């Protein structure tokens, strides 16, 4: 199955994007969240990533001849999927290299690290969120195991393309949803543990916990908000995708932040996406800077997210991505 990408004509004025669609060529202005689903879809469609942008940002593609997903290589995903005889891994926390056992298991290994520093817009420098130290120092957190993001390359066979529309009347085709996943560390790298789907009005359409396929190394609860107890009511990835397909097909417009990570964890190929990390990126002649969702929420929306002691919320993140689209807050409709 192949995916055909069709983009509406668009034009850029400064750093903003404006559509050439007739939906905006009238005088009445309304917030996005008040638009009917079909109208909302038409207004936002020009913001979706082009095929070139999908490739540049490492989104999964489908190879119909090999019947598996392929991931375009970027600076950041060189070792997302590796061969079965490649046992080398790099810890996602302390950055130390190590090797798995021949059977794919791992021995305990002392991991001393800081949480990833975040940019402080006031002080104009990165700060450690775990201990608030301003610069490089030895880690303040110690764990008994390393964690890693790399998965086995045979995982690419587990991917599938979102289903095609069931004719012109398929209600899923003209829908817009915010999507976010919480990920945990397993012996097969990052796996999805929670999936949330939210509509433009902020209504939660789907929110479910997902059982990992491989043994869990760390629930990463400080950030994912997922605990071992949440797995008591979790469903399989297969069941999760079936639930997801009740609401989305290949034409549904999904909105998220660095959505390629969520799609890879869901083992899905889907190309109708608006990625707020790309939409609000800072483009310079020699580099493109992506801001975190937390930073965008603070600077653009004046709200604080991902600050709960129990970890992040995929519902909150999904809603925030949709709210960021309201920064082009009023669109003209008939």
Residue 21: per-residue pLDDT: 44
In this predicted model, what pLDDT tens digit does every residue of 140-163 receive, in sequence order?
888 889 999 999 999 999 999 999
In this predicted model, what pLDDT tens digit does every residue of 241-267 receive, in sequence order?
999 999 999 999 999 999 999 999 999
Helices (H) and strands (E) in the chain, counts: 8, 24
Full-prediction pTM beyond 0.75?
Answer: yes
172, two tokens:
């899923």
pLDDT of 322 over the 60 cut: yes
Q: What is the average pLDDT score of the chain?
A: 87
Residue 122: per-residue pLDDT: 66
Residue 4: per-residue pLDDT: 36
Q: What is the DSSP letter of 103?
A: T
- The pLDDT confidence band at residue 280, using thresholds 50, 70 and 90, is very high
Q: For residues 117 and 179, which has the higher predicted lDDT (pLDDT)?
A: 179
Question: What's the whole-number mean pLDDT along residues 73-87?
Answer: 96
Query: Residue 65: how many CB atoms within 10 A of its CB?
Result: 5
Query: Residue 167: how many CB atoms within 10 A of its CB?
Result: 7
- Distance from C-alpha of 270 to C-alpha of 62, rounded to nearest angstrom: 9
Question: What's the whole-number mean pLDDT along residues 127-137?
Answer: 66
Q: What is the DSSP letter of 34?
A: G
pLDDT above 70 covers a percentage of the chain that reads: 83
In order of their start, the domains of the chain are 10-72+153-333 (3.30.420.10), 83-148 (no CATH)
Nearest-CA neighbor of 43 among 58, 31, 27? 31
In this predicted model, what pLDDT tens digit does every residue of 98-115 receive, in sequence order?
999 999 999 888 899 787
The residues pairing with 99 across neighbouring beta strands, listed in sequence order, are: 88
CB proximity list for 302: less than 8 A, separation 6 or greater: none
Residue 308: per-residue pLDDT: 63
pLDDT of 6 over the 60 cut: no
Counting Cα atoms < 13 Å in the Cβ hemisphere of 54 gives 24
- φ/ψ of residue 46, rounded to 5: -70, -10
In this predicted model, what pLDDT tens digit does every residue of 7-35 receive, in sequence order?
333 333 334 444 444 454 433 568 898 99
């Amino acid at each position: 199955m192949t995916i055909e990408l069709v983009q509406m004509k668009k034009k850029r004025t400064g750093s903003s994007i404006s559509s050439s669609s007739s939906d905006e060529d009238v005088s009445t202005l309304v917030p996005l969240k008040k638009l009917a689903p079909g109208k909302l879809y038409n207004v936002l469609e020009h913001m979706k990533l082009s095929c070139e942008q999908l490739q540049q940002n490492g989104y999964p593609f489908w190879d119909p001849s090999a019947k598996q997903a392929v991931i375009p290589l970027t600076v950041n995903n060189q070792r997302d999927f590796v061969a079965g005889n490649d046992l080398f891994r790099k810890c996602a926390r302390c950055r130390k290299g190590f090797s798995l056992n021949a059977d794919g298991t791992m021995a305990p290994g002392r991991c001393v690290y800081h949480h990833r520093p975040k940019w402080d817009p006031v002080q104009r420098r990165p700060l450690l969120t775990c201990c608030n130290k301003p610069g490089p120092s030895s880690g303040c957190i110690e764990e008994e195991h390393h964690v890693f993001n790399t998965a086995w390359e045979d995982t690419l066979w587990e991917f599938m393309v979102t289903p095609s529309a069931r004719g012109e009347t398929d209600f899923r085709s003209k829908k817009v949803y915010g999507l976010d996943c919480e990920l945990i560390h397993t012996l097969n790298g990052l796996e999805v543990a929670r999936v949330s789907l939210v509509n433009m009005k902020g209504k939660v359409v789907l929110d479910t916990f997902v059982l990992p396929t491989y043994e869990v190394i760390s629930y990463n609860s400080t950030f994912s908000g997922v605990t071992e107890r949440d797995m008591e009511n979790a469903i399989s990835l297969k069941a999760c995708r079936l639930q997801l397909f009740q609401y989305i097909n290949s034409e549904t417009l999904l909105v998220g932040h660095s959505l390629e990570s969520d799609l890879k964890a869901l083992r899905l190929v889907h190309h109708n996406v608006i990625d707020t990390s790309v939409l609000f990126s800072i483009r310079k002649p020699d580099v493109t800077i992506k801001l975190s969702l937390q930073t965008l929420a603070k600077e653009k929306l004046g709200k604080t997210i991902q600050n709960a002691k129990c970890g992040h919320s995929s519902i909150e993140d999904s809603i925030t991505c949709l709210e960021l689209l309201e920064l082009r807050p009023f669109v003209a409709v008939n």
